[in-house]
Structure 1
Amino acid sequence: MSANLTPGPFGKSFTDLLASPALTVLRMAALAASQDDGLDEDTLDLMYEQVAAGVLTDLAPEVAWRELARGLSARAPSRMLRALRECDALAVLLPEVDALFGVPQIADDPDQVDIGEHLLRTVDEAARRDAPFAVRYASLLFNVGKSDSPREHLPVHYRHIERGVPRIEAISARFGVPDDCLDLALLANAECERVHRAAEMRAGSITVMLERVDAFGHPERFDRLMTLCTCDFRAYPGRASRPYPKAAMLRTALSACRNVDEAAITAAHGVQRSQAADALLEARAQAVAAALRSKRWGDAD
Structure 2
Amino acid sequence: MKIYLVGGAVRDYLLKINVKDKDWVVVGSDIKSMLKLGFKLVGKDFPVFLHPKTHEEYALARTEHKYGHGYKGFKYHATPTISLKEDLLRRDLTINAIAQDNLGNFYDPYNGLQDIKNRILKHVSSSFKEDPLRVLRVARFAAKLNYLNFKIHDKTLKLMKIMSNSGELSYLKPERIWKETYNALQSKHPQIYFKILKECNALSIILPEINKLYGIPAPLKWHPEIDTGIHTMLTLKIISQLTKNASTRFAALCHDIGKGLTPKELLPRHPGHGIAGIPLIKKLCKRLKIPNNIKKLAILAAKIHDIIHDIYNQKPEDILNIYNIIDAWRKPERVKQIALISEADARGRLTLELIEYKQGKYFINMYKFISKLNIKNIINNINLKGIDINKTIQNKRLKLLKCFLKSKY
Is the deviation greater in 104-113 or in 189-198? Answer: 104-113
- Is contact 1:145–1:162 with CA below 8 Å preserved after alignment? yes
Aligned partner of 2:384: which letter? G
Deviation digits for residues 55-97 of structure 1, max 9, x if unmatched? Answer: 2121212122222222221111121111111111000111111
2:173 maps to 60
Aligned partner of 2:309: which letter? H
Aligned partner of 2:315: which letter? R
For residues 264 and 129 of structure 2, what CA distance do their matches in structure 1 show? 44
2:280 to 167, 171, 185: 167
1:50 maps to 163
2:367 maps to 254
For residues 219 and 383 of structure 2, what CA distance do their matches in structure 1 show? 47
Residues 176-187 of structure 1 mapped to structure 2, 5 A cutoff: 176-187=289-300
2:50 maps to none
Q: 1:225 to 1:16 in 2, by over 3 A?
A: farther
1:270 maps to 384
- Is contact 2:194–2:203 with CA below 8 Å preserved after alignment? yes
1:32 maps to 142
For residues 214 and 187 of structure 1, what CA distance do their matches in structure 2 show? 10
Is the deviation greater in 232-241 or in 172-181? Answer: 232-241
2:49 maps to none
TM-score by length of 1: 0.85
TM-score by length of 2: 0.64
For residues 119 and 178 of structure 1, what CA distance do their matches in structure 2 show? 22
Q: Could you tell me how far 1:15 is from its partner in structure 2? A: 4.0
Aligned partner of 1:28: which letter? V
1:21 to 131, 155, 163: 131
- Is contact 2:188–2:240 with CA below 8 Å preserved after alignment? yes
3-state SS in 2 of match to 1:217: coil
**Aligned: 1:118 with 2:231:** yes
**Aligned: 1:198 with 2:289:** no
1:238 maps to 351
**Aligned: 1:225 with 2:338:** yes
Q: Which runs of 5+ in 1 are unaligned?
A: 297-301
Aligned partner of 1:24: which letter? R
1:299 maps to none
For residues 165 and 201 of structure 1, what CA distance do their matches in structure 2 show? 23
Q: Could you tell me how far 1:278 is from its partner in structure 2? A: 4.3
Aligned partner of 2:365: which letter? T
1:78 maps to 191
Query: Higher helix fraction: Structure 1 or Structure 2?
Result: 1
1:91 maps to 204
2:328 maps to 215
Aligned residues: 295
Q: Percent identity?
A: 25
2:244 maps to 131
3-state SS in 2 of match to 1:33: helix
Q: Could you tell me how far 1:168 is from its partner in structure 2? A: 0.9
3-state SS in 1 of match to 2:171: coil
Deviation digits for residues 164-222 of structure 1, max 9, x if unmatched? Answer: 22211121122122222111111111111112221166333212211222211110122
For residues 121 and 194 of structure 2, what CA distance do their matches in structure 1 show? 21
For residues 17 and 287 of structure 1, what CA distance do their matches in structure 2 show? 65
3-state SS in 1 of match to 2:214: coil
Q: 1:42 to 1:9 in 2, by over 3 A?
A: farther
Q: 1:139 to 1:38 in 2, by over 3 A?
A: farther
RMSD: 3.1
- Is contact 1:265–1:279 with CA below 8 Å preserved after alignment? yes
3-state SS in 1 of match to 2:198: helix
For residues 275 and 210 of structure 2, what CA distance do their matches in structure 1 show? 16
Aligned partner of 1:96: which letter? E
Aligned partner of 1:222: which letter? V
Q: Which runs of 5+ in 2 are unaligned?
A: 1-88, 95-114
- Is contact 2:256–2:277 with CA below 8 Å preserved after alignment? yes
Higher relative contact order (CA 8 A, sep 6+): 1
